[in-house]
Structure 1
Amino acid sequence: MDPSTYKLYHVDDFDSRLHLENYMSDNPDRISEEDSLIFPIENLTKMFTEGHIKGDVLIDLSPGSIVHHLFAACDFFKHIIVLKMRDRCIMELKRWVDERTGAFDWSHATKFHVDIGKYRDLLQEKEGKVRSALQHVLKCDLEKENIMDPIVLPPADCIITFSLLDAISKDQDDYMRYLRKFSRLLKPGGHIILLGALGMTYYTIGNHKFRAFSYDEEFARKALVGEGFIIDRCEVKMRMNVNDHIDYKAMMFIAAHREI
């Protein structure tokens, strides 16, 4: 397929439920449990439990209706604000938050989290805690200078973005431009956590291929340093499960803080 015909996450129709079923479900046919579920949960749990990142407000900017990467965060932040570009993604996430019939089942991801944290008796309590924290799921416009205009958000202690930069950036300049906008949501000395797929050019949702921005670890590091961040931790996990649905080479986790 000609790459110029690939769809764009923030322009074309994106089936957020099918995205969850393909990449995040407990179905044996899912793309990669190790990379899409366990890798982010392990790294975020470790980062937060060390106690270096905590505070009042965490802002999440991630594609689709994913929530599993926020399970560890609810123990360390009073308020979690989730920003989404698409109404459909907001509706799908709120269906889970409100425990509506037909909501996506995240219990397998919750189990990964409590097992990693050795809290096996707290499975239901964990999901309730996450739901209580996710009362602010808002729509944003990443093309505006202030992506929440006219709303003014409280400055965040931490921002997490899981592959959104991969999905919306067409080149290095785009990546830097969006990263700069995200960074403006942070308070002085705040932290940013980037989760992304290295070397990815496309991902598949159903019968449709979506374009992705391909970059490497060196570029991501330089992008953060260029925006005034100091990198605290970087973990890269090479891909083990190869298939035609998505072509990334490795998963990346970077935590960094901005100098006061």
Structure 2
Amino acid sequence: MVLLHGNDYCDKFSAEIFLKDFWGSLSDLNIFLISNAYVFLNNERLTGHRLLDFGCSPNLLGEIIAPERFTDIVMADLSPSNLDIIRRWMDGQKINFKWDHMLKFAAESCVMQMCQSGLKRKIAHLKTSVKKLVNCDAKKELPLGPDYVEAFDVVFTSFCLGSAAKSVAEYKQFLKNVASLLPSGGHLVMCGALNQMAYIVDNKRFHHLKLSMSDVKDALCNAQFEILEYEFECITLPESEPPEYSVFVLLAIKV
């Protein structure tokens, strides 16, 4: 089976099947990501109201668990079809996926204590706080293009850089490019995979760089980040190669 990568996401990646297979139920992976990323995004050390979700895929993970003080959110992805799923949902159009189970789990497990009316309010807040959907490319020195000169307060990124980079050297450079979107004192919340080499969506194999935690730490140091906290866990996922690998969530500050 051909290993897909890069611009293959623009015409060979099925956003709807990805959502169904990876986010259609509350797997151990999803529970780990939601629970830990929520803690880090709601950490009292994070300030400001501008949040960038870099490499968002067709997913609302970062937006669902972000505190409501983030009122200026930009969602960015390489694939136009991924952004189109988000755009259609925001416009109230019908898509073949619902995020209700994620919202409810986040509400129950993260002590958000939302009733049904609170969940509706959260959805309404998401649709007003996401200000822009833009294309991004981690390979570029200006990954959002030259129009974005204002820095963000927080960058959230989930599995993007490991999928984009073909080598550890590229991973370091791509993280450095993303770091340029944060000022000194800005925060990064990053989710990623360790020792994963590929994952399957719609019977298509997509590349993932095999990384160790040491590789990730070196890349963060190279991009002038200091890790404040991190968590990792071993996961079994049939759609992954190998099916047993580790995932991490970390909080870092740009120094």
Normalising by structure 1, we get a TM-score of 0.89
| 2:17 aligned partner | 18
Task: State the superposition RMSD in angstroms.
Answer: 1.8
1:174, CA displacement in angstroms? 0.8
Return the match for 1:40 from 13, 33, 38: 33
Residue 77, structure 1, aligned to residue 73, structure 2 = no
Residue 243, structure 1, aligned to residue 238, structure 2 = yes
2:31 alignment partner AA: I
Once the two structures are superposed, the pairs formed by residues 49-198 of structure 1 within 5 Å of their partners are 49-118=42-111, 119-121=113-115, 122-198=118-194
| 1:29 aligned partner | none
Query: CA offsets per residue over residues 87-143 of structure 1, 9 Å max, x none?
Result: 111101111222211252000000111112331312222222122211311112334
Return the match for 2:223 from 224, 227, 243: 227
> What SS class does the counterpart of residue 184 from structure 2 fall into?
strand
Query: Quick check: 1:96–1:104 contact (8 Å CA) kept in 2?
Result: no
1:156 alignment partner AA: F
* Aligned-partner Cα distance in 1 for 2:33–2:149: 26
> What SS class does the counterpart of residue 228 from structure 2 fall into?
strand
1:147 alignment partner AA: P
Query: Quick check: 2:55–2:158 contact (8 Å CA) kept in 1?
Result: yes
Structure 2 stretches lacking a partner, 5+ long: none
Query: Quick check: 2:138–2:178 contact (8 Å CA) kept in 1?
Result: no
* Aligned-partner Cα distance in 1 for 2:145–2:41: 30
Structure 1 stretches lacking a partner, 5+ long: 27-31
* Aligned-partner Cα distance in 2 for 1:95–1:103: 11
Query: Quick check: 1:71–1:130 contact (8 Å CA) kept in 2?
Result: yes
Moved beyond 6 Å, runs of 4+: none
Query: Quick check: 1:96–1:103 contact (8 Å CA) kept in 2?
Result: no
Query: Quick check: 1:194–1:254 contact (8 Å CA) kept in 2?
Result: yes
Shift of the 142–46 alpha-carbon distance from structure 1 to 2, 3 Å rule, reads closer
Query: Quick check: 1:19–1:64 contact (8 Å CA) kept in 2?
Result: no
Shift of the 140–242 alpha-carbon distance from structure 1 to 2, 3 Å rule, reads closer
State, as a whole percentage, how many aligned pairs show the same letter: 20
Normalising by structure 2, we get a TM-score of 0.91
Return the match for 1:7 from 4, 15, 27: 4
| Number of corresponding residues | 249
Once the two structures are superposed, the pairs formed by residues 204-219 of structure 1 within 5 Å of their partners are 204-219=200-215
1:66, CA displacement in angstroms? 1.0
1:57, CA displacement in angstroms? 0.9
> What SS class does the counterpart of residue 40 from structure 1 fall into?
helix
